[in-house]
Structure 1
Amino acid sequence: MEIPDAGASLPLLKSSAGGGGRASALQTLGNIIVSIVGTGILGLPYAFRVAGWFAGSLGVVIVGIATYYCMLLLIQCRDKLESDEGPEETKTYGDLGFKCMGKTGRYLTETLIFAAQCGGSIAYLVFIGRNMSSIFKSYGISMVSFIFMLVPIEIALSWVGSLSALSPFSIFADICNIIAMCFVVKENVEQVFGGDFSFSDRKAIASNVGGIPFAGGMAVFCFEGFAMTLALESSMRDKQEFPKLLAKVLTGITFVYVLFGFCGYMAYGDQTMDIITLNLPKNWSAIAVQIGLCVGLTFTFPIMVHPLNEIIEQKLKRTEWFQKHQYTDGTHSTTKLCRCVVYLTRTILVVGLATVASFVPGFGSFASLVGSTLCALISFVLPASFHLTLLGPSLNLWNKGLDVFIVLSGLVFAVYGTYNTIVGV
């Protein structure tokens, strides 16, 4: 299977034939933010509650630095392949896996990306279900009920052929995210200065050691969009400026993450919920923010699952049965039977994701689990492994040692973080 064009989910991404990018620095900046910042940020205050405000802040900073470094490793690996084999084809993450580990590497890389995309889509459904059930708590409608209420809507939206029709909703969701963050910060400040606040009650480092890897998993989940690195760099007109631009953007995002997590935990302390919007007062403005977030994510969900649909359909179209029945005689028009099969696979995917989401016990624990396993492997272990394999002979001892350290640390973090998330912190 192949990962589809990343530009499908980024309205500002401009790709061109021959691999030449046409996106300006401002457009690339916007795409980096859209790729990385998601609903995970609203779970950071809870991660700070679990780990402590100092440990949580330090964890986010470390993850931000490691993310930047490993993104550059991925670009160096792609540049190495292009210098050896020619620049006629832009290498994907899966191509790097194939070059380093053969078919096993390709399937491992793309399976992890596929699973991580599924995890992000499930997190969307859980987020919507938790928020909507809290708003309509007096009516006794559960999170699971709201998730399955969304299924017919998401199935219909997943049948939309053109993502350009849905891209305005993605921008709307990003605007809602920004408004929600500002509103939450305002409420946090009012809570701190207007409530019974005591800084001594806020832990700097949690006594439970398992809280630190839990918060680390949440932080890794918040720096999502790692698989977009190569597409983002390729889309930029002046590629030499990409590392500097990426450093500035990730520095800003890391600062916002730390500030947001710190303020949320300071405001609510041990009462901080796994989604900070659940701590908001039940007035009309807070409810409007929550509903706006949920509506935006409802229409963004089809964009999240679009790469999954393309991967599944690419595999489907390679089957002998599909190729036999794909076109009507004498034309290149897809038969109704094949279109129905495609719609059926999209329906099954949405129902499957909703079913898994209905069993998720909480947004925070699920996000940390995805971050500790899938995202950690994609973001740290694989890039450092590829870098050692492709550029190992030319690396100095320091760079080799750093790559080995990242690989080992990523694997230990994945195992230990997963254990703590499942057992409970």
Structure 2
Amino acid sequence: MSTDINGHNNPAYVTGDDEKNTTDKSKHGLELTEKGQCYTDDYDPYKHRKVEHPTTNSETLFHLLKGSLGTGILAMPNAFRNAGYITGSIGTVVIGIICTYCIHLLIKAEYELCKRKKIPSMSYPEVAETALSDGPSWLRWLSPYIANIVNTFLLIYQLGTCCVYVVFVASNIKSIADFYVDDSIDVRMYMLIILIPLILINWVRNLKYLAPFSTIANAVTLVSFGIICYYIFREPISTEGKDPFGTLKGFPLFFGTVLFALEAIGVILPLENEMKTPKNFGGSCGVLNSAMVLIVILYVGMGLFGYLNYGDKVEGSITLNLPSDEGLSQAVKGMLAFAIYITHGLACYVAIDITWNHYVNKGLRITSKTVFWEYVCRTGLVLVTFLLAVAIPNLELFISLFGALCLSALGLALPAFIEICTYWYQRKGLARVWLIGSNVIIVIVGILGLVIGTYTSMAEIVHTFF
């Protein structure tokens, strides 16, 4: 009898010691793999999930939209400036389709691996570790390390999101203040002003107490988007003086920004695992596809019409292009700065969870003053995001950098790599050729996006600030 990734006895598997029984078991509905293992095909992970407060399809859809609609959509006009309005429109749709396809790969791999291990659900790192341990023999040496690799990318991405939040809030506060006071005050001073309350927000240890902030932020964001659309469409939209196709140099910046904006890969498995009817998450008309269609339409609309309105003058956040002498536009900047500010704790929650629970507390085995050291960890992470924002107070470059660096790996390359490992011994003939060929292409695209996008963003940062 083998054990699962948590070290528990797993009756679903039969290993070399039980080899004499595999012939009989295969006659009773058990599927054999080339690793000498077999698993029952009648275990349904969905039926064994025990969720205290399961979410409905509509609630999951709302959460997915909420996870994807934030600072990223406000940066889309700037992304279109780098790509051109035709390339930007087509590129956003194509990237959206690829991202959605890769999310489906991850969800299907989780379901398949949960069936084999007879466990109800897995996290992203657990899916990666289990897939590699079941995959090609020459890759199994990597399985003990892949969870840390995934966690590292997730951590960098979440901290990067928090950096974007700090720069966004400070930049919009400065835009408001410049109209009323001396505009020579550096944006870093506004970052310093918001630092202490930011630390206090991240001292909230229970996610339940952060939920009301999210509800308020959603309402404020919805109203703000409506006002932004008013400013975009109050004057005739024209393509005159706007580039239909951008330069090759600008495309990696566009790619990174769109990935940052579209991908919510960190919340996909938690949302699916908390659903009342998780089977409805996938499928052609499932929650995921419905959400991604809406998200892509909104992103193309904001990017296209925002760029056609402001052209090459578009800023890293479209809010910074709104008139400074009108009370309504100033209110929008303040409202969105407030909404992003109060949800910083939610954005940082995953980073804190990974750092504290998986590494600091577990690695150091802290037994005394645990709460005190957790607060120290929380404060330290906020200071890290603050110092990075102070060092590079540029919204569009931050968004492009972390999109290319983390989401090319988390959202594209790793899901495709996981699917190859998951079905390595199950697919034969043309199905195996398709499995390897299609996913290798996605892995290559992800790696190229990571390398070229990160290099381009870093080169722009160095050129701008050093």
TM over 0.5: yes
Indicate how the Cα distance of structure 1 residues 199 and 148 shifts in structure 2: closer, same or farther if over 3 A, else same.
same
Query: How much does 1:307 deviate?
Result: 2.0
Q: Are the counterparts in 2 of residues 46 and 261 from structure 1 also a CA contact under 8 Å?
A: yes
Out of 35, 40, 64, the position equivalent to 2:67 is 35
**Partner in structure 2 of residue 332 of structure 1:** none
**Partner in structure 2 of residue 94 of structure 1:** 125
Cα offsets for 1:122-179 (capped at 9, x unmatched): 1100101111111112333321111111111011122223232221211222222222
Cα offsets for 1:364-414 (capped at 9, x unmatched): 111011111101100000000010011133341223211110001111111
Write the letter of the residue equivalent to 1:279. N
CA distance in 2, matches of 1:22, 1:319: 32
| 1:202 paired to 2:238 | no
Q: Are the counterparts in 1 of residues 82 and 250 from structure 2 also a CA contact under 8 Å?
A: yes
Task: Give matches, 1:9-408, under 5 Å.
Answer: 18-19=49-50, 22-87=54-119, 89-99=120-130, 100=132, 101-137=142-178, 138-139=181-182, 140-192=184-236, 198-206=238-246, 208-243=247-282, 244-282=286-324, 283-314=326-357, 315-319=359-363, 322-323=366-367, 325=368, 337-395=369-427, 396=431, 397-408=433-444
Query: How much does 1:361 deviate?
Result: 4.1
| 1:415 paired to 2:447 | no
Q: Are the counterparts in 2 of residues 60 and 219 from structure 1 also a CA contact under 8 Å?
A: yes
RMSD (Å) for aligned C-alpha atoms? 2.1
CA distance in 2, matches of 1:177, 1:63: 25
Indicate how the Cα distance of structure 1 residues 401 and 347 shifts in structure 2: closer, same or farther if over 3 A, else same.
same
Indicate how the Cα distance of structure 1 residues 357 and 373 shifts in structure 2: closer, same or farther if over 3 A, else same.
same
Indicate how the Cα distance of structure 1 residues 231 and 213 shifts in structure 2: closer, same or farther if over 3 A, else same.
same
Write the letter of the residue equivalent to 2:290. K
Query: How much does 1:224 deviate?
Result: 3.1
Indicate how the Cα distance of structure 1 residues 34 and 60 shifts in structure 2: closer, same or farther if over 3 A, else same.
same
Query: How much does 1:45 deviate?
Result: 0.3
SS in 2 for 1:379: helix
CA distance in 2, matches of 1:349, 1:103: 26
More displaced, 394-403 or 32-41?
394-403
Q: Give the structure-2-normalised TM-score.
A: 0.80
**Partner in structure 1 of residue 42 of structure 2:** none
CA distance in 1, matches of 2:89, 2:458: 23
- How many residues end up aligned between the 2 structures? 394
Query: How much does 1:51 deviate?
Result: 0.9
CA distance in 1, matches of 2:227, 2:398: 25
Query: How much does 1:104 deviate?
Result: 1.1
Write the letter of the residue equivalent to 1:200. E
CA distance in 1, matches of 2:242, 2:88: 12
Cα offsets for 1:64-97 (capped at 9, x unmatched): 111111111001111121121103x411111122
SS in 2 for 1:209: coil
Higher RCO, 1 vs 2 (CA within 8 Å, ≥6 residues apart): 1
| Higher Cα radius of gyration | 2
CA distance in 2, matches of 1:110, 1:295: 29
Q: Are the counterparts in 2 of residues 19 and 234 from structure 1 also a CA contact under 8 Å?
A: no
Indicate how the Cα distance of structure 1 residues 320 and 415 shifts in structure 2: closer, same or farther if over 3 A, else same.
closer
CA distance in 1, matches of 2:265, 2:50: 19
CA distance in 1, matches of 2:83, 2:375: 44
Query: How much does 1:423 deviate?
Result: 2.4
Q: Are the counterparts in 1 of residues 78 and 317 from structure 2 also a CA contact under 8 Å?
A: yes
Q: Are the counterparts in 2 of residues 51 and 212 from structure 1 also a CA contact under 8 Å?
A: yes
Q: Which has the higher helix share?
A: 1
Q: Are the counterparts in 1 of residues 397 and 457 from structure 2 also a CA contact under 8 Å?
A: yes
Query: How much does 1:342 deviate?
Result: 2.0
Write the letter of the residue equivalent to 2:332. V
Indicate how the Cα distance of structure 1 residues 253 and 319 shifts in structure 2: closer, same or farther if over 3 A, else same.
closer
CA distance in 2, matches of 1:67, 1:179: 28
Write the letter of the residue equivalent to 1:415. V
Q: Are the counterparts in 2 of residues 52 and 202 from structure 1 also a CA contact under 8 Å?
A: yes
CA distance in 1, matches of 2:307, 2:341: 28
Query: How much does 1:16 deviate?
Result: 11
Query: How much does 1:19 deviate?
Result: 4.2
CA distance in 2, matches of 1:93, 1:376: 15
Cα offsets for 1:251-278 (capped at 9, x unmatched): 1110110011011011111111111001
Q: Are the counterparts in 1 of residues 262 and 296 from structure 2 also a CA contact under 8 Å?
A: no
SS in 2 for 1:64: helix
Q: Are the counterparts in 2 of residues 192 and 266 from structure 1 also a CA contact under 8 Å?
A: no
CA distance in 2, matches of 1:223, 1:162: 27
CA distance in 2, matches of 1:232, 1:370: 23
CA distance in 1, matches of 2:307, 2:448: 28
Long gaps (5+) in structure 1 = 1-14, 326-336
SS in 2 for 1:23: coil
Cα offsets for 1:235-255 (capped at 9, x unmatched): 222222211221111011101
Long gaps (5+) in structure 2 = 1-45, 133-141
Query: How much does 1:320 deviate?
Result: 5.4
CA distance in 2, matches of 1:381, 1:320: 32
CA distance in 1, matches of 2:365, 2:417: 38
More displaced, 139-148 or 308-317?
308-317
